[in-house]
Each structure stands twice: as structure tokens, then as C-alpha cells.
Amino acid sequence: MPVKYPSHSTYDREVWDVLSGFWHPVARLSDLSNEPFPVKLLDVSLVIYQTEETSISIATDICPHRGAPLSKGRIERKRIICPYHGLEYDKSGQCQRVPASEPHADNCAAIKLTMVNWCEKYGLIWVNLNGKPTKPLPKWAAFEDDNYIVVDCDSELWNASAGRHTENFNDVAHLSFIHSGTFGNPNDPLIERYKVEKTDEGFDRTFTYNEIDKIDYLSDKSEVVPKIYNYRFTYPFASELEMNSPDGRVMTIYDCICPESPTTSRIFISLARNYDRDTPEKEIQKWQAAVNDEDRWVVESQLPKLLPLSPKTEKHIAADAWSLEFRDGFVRLGISRDNGI
């Protein structure tokens, strides 16, 4: 069932209309339990509930009786029960019981939740609000390759727009400055010219970066290694960075965003690698959290808060070639140039 543009939304209407046509990640499967789980996407509050272990349902988090949040209710008798007057809904969102009307038969058939279109992939729950996804999910090969071990990081809520975060993930000129505490090489800030290749989903590009490579997560050992960085991007906000070492080690970072509101973004990151299979997950997660902290303060401080689509609003350098294409892509999707994302 398509979800309507919420009247309280702070999104520009044309931005919301375009973004509601995509799949967005809203939660990890591992976040779910036998309690209703609230999430937010594009200013729409949703509730994920499991009436049985194998069954997932997602509805707008508004009881159709008097608008109470179902996520504050509970699951019993394979139903989600609204906390306000106890109406009970099954996995299809159909009302099955109105306690205040018993033993009189109320017309349950007329009371139904607004269910949303969802799917599961890469351990994430993805939601499409308009019921007609314009593009498929990103294709993330390492998740289906036994040579790789995948580590999921805890999601983070950033006070930044999805556009600002995505541009930061794909920005290459900041590596030697912002990331000098982890993998950035402060002595080699020059970015070689790269080509942005358009794909059906977004863009690909490749360049070499002389990274400070932390060979062993459990020690301080590191050395400069020329790594081939392959970036693959899928609209609207799913990014992949595959970092190839000359000795055959490959680490791929997957970054995708749930745009909760125009200026708040929930970040989901997974790391796949074909080496160091025995390194504890928490060491990998700690390293990625340190990288995120390096980025976060600057991205949350950028003004304007929304990434401007007009090329005239900010000044650009040669290394920004990807960023200009990224902004143009939203204009091709139907968002005005004077808007932001």
C-alpha cells in the first residue's frame, strides 16, 4: 500500500516524491526481537513487528483508531496490540479484536493498518514507501562470496543529510587530512585524475591511493601501501569502496543510509575482507568507529545542511568530479537544481 507524503514532513515535496520511489535500509535483521521495533524513514514513523519468529510485518506506526503509536504496544496471541484501547492486529495488519466492544461484534474488517513494501537483503530490512520501486537494490558481491568474511557495525544516527554523508563517503580529497589518525596519508594528499563511469545504478570509478595500511588490527604496525580503490555507487545513497592491496588482500566497505529526515541519517556499514579471518569482530568494528568519528564532526558541521544540487552554491576542485556527477544525478531524477538533498 503506498504511503502518503506526511503532512508534518520537513522534506520538500519533490525531494520526498523522488526518494519514496527507492528502497532504503531501515534496520538490521539482528535488531529485531519479539517487541515492536520503531524506525523512521523520510519523516514517516514505521513499526516492524514479528507475530511469529519467521514472519515480519511493517506498518506505519499509527493506529487507525485514534492515532496512537503501535510501537509502544506489545505482541501477544500472534498479534500486535495497540497500547491505547487494545485493538489487536494480525500480521497482515487486519484488526481481529476490539476489546471495548465485546461481546458485540464490531466491524473489524473495516479497520486495517497501512502496511508497507519491504524486503530483506544483506542482513538489512529495506523499505519502499511508494509501492513502486524505480530501481533495484544495490548488488553487493562480497556478501555472496565465501572467500569473504563480513562484519556488520552498529548503526549510527548522524545529524547530517543523506546527501552530505554520501558525498563524504565518496570524497577522496579528504582522506589525507581527516583520516590521518587511521589510514589517511598526510604526506601524500595529491589525488590522481580519475574517470567517473556512469552505470545503470549510479557510478563506478577507480584510482590509486598511497594508504597508511594497518596490516594487523591488534598492533600498531603500519606501512604505506599503494592500494587500488574501486568505488561503486548505487542511487540514492548506497556506496561501496573496495580497497585492493598489491599482495591480494581486499577489504570492501559497504555504506548505506536510512534518511530519517532531511537532516538526520541512520548509517549502516558492513566490512567484507578476504584476509585476517581470525581477527575478533569487535576489533574491526572499533577501527571503523574510529574512521567514522574522524568524518562525523565535519559532516555534521557542514553548511548548508542539505547538499546543494546547484553547482554555483559551492566552489569545486578537480578531485570533486564524482561529487558533481552525484549532484547532477538527482536533477536527472526530477529534483530541481535549486533544491538540496
Neighbours of 266 (CB within 10 A): 22
- CA–CA–CA angle 310, 258, 199 (5° rounding): 60
Return the ∠ at Cα 272 (arms to 176 and 269), rounded to 5°.
Answer: 70
Task: Check binding of 211 to Fe ion (CB under 5 A).
Answer: no
Q: Which is nearer to Fe ion, 125 or 175 (CB)?
A: 175
Q: Which ranges in the chain belong to alpha helices (H)?
A: 13-19, 162-170, 175-178, 281-301, 321-332
Question: Shortest approach of Fe ion to residue 292 CB, angstroms?
Answer: 8
295 contacts Fe ion (rule: CB under 5 A)? yes
The stretch near ligand FES (CB under 6 A) out of 77-85, 251-259, 300-308, 318-326 is 77-85
> Which DSSP letter does residue 161 get?
-
CB of 166 to Fe ion, least distance (A): 11
> How near is the Cβ of 50 to ligand FES at its closest, in Å?
19
Question: Rounded to the nearest whole angstrom, what is the least distance from the CB of residue 116 to ligand FES in the complex?
Answer: 18
Q: State the minimum distance, in angstroms, from the CB of residue 321 to Fe ion.
A: 17
At 18, the amino acid letter reads V
Q: Which helix (H) or strand (E) holds 229?
A: strand 222-234
Going residue by residue from 4 to 43, which x/- string records binding to ligand FES, judged by CB under 6 A?
----------------------------------------
Min separation Cβ 110 and ligand FES, Å: 14
Residue 175, judged by CB atoms within 10 A of its CB (0-12, 13-18, 19+), counts as buried
Helix extents (H) in 63-217: 162-170, 175-178
And the C-alpha cell for 307?
Answer: 547538499
Tell which one of 15, 44, 80, 82 touches ligand FES (CB under 6 A): 82
Among 1, 32, 68, 196, binds ligand FES (CB under 6 A): 68
Residue 255 binding Fe ion, by CB under 5 A: no
Site map for ligand FES, 86-115, x if CB under 6 A? -x----------------------------
Q: Under the criterion CB under 6 A, does residue 72 sit at the interface with ligand FES?
A: no
The SS3 assignment for 333 reads: coil
**How many residues make contact with Fe ion (CB under 5 A)?**
1
Is residue 178 near ligand FES by the rule CB under 6 A?
no
What are the CA-CA distances from residue 15 to residues 117, 266, 285 (Å)? 20, 18, 33
Nearer of residues 177 and 218 to Fe ion, judged by Cβ = 177
**Residue 63 found at the interface with ligand FES (CB under 6 A):** yes
Residue 292, C-beta contacts closer than 8 angstroms, at least 6 positions apart: 156, 267, 269
Neighbours of 137 (CB within 10 A): 19
66 binds ligand FES (CB under 6 A): yes
**Contact set with ligand FES (CB under 6 A):** 63, 65-66, 68, 82, 84-85, 87
Binding site for Fe ion (CB under 5 A): 295
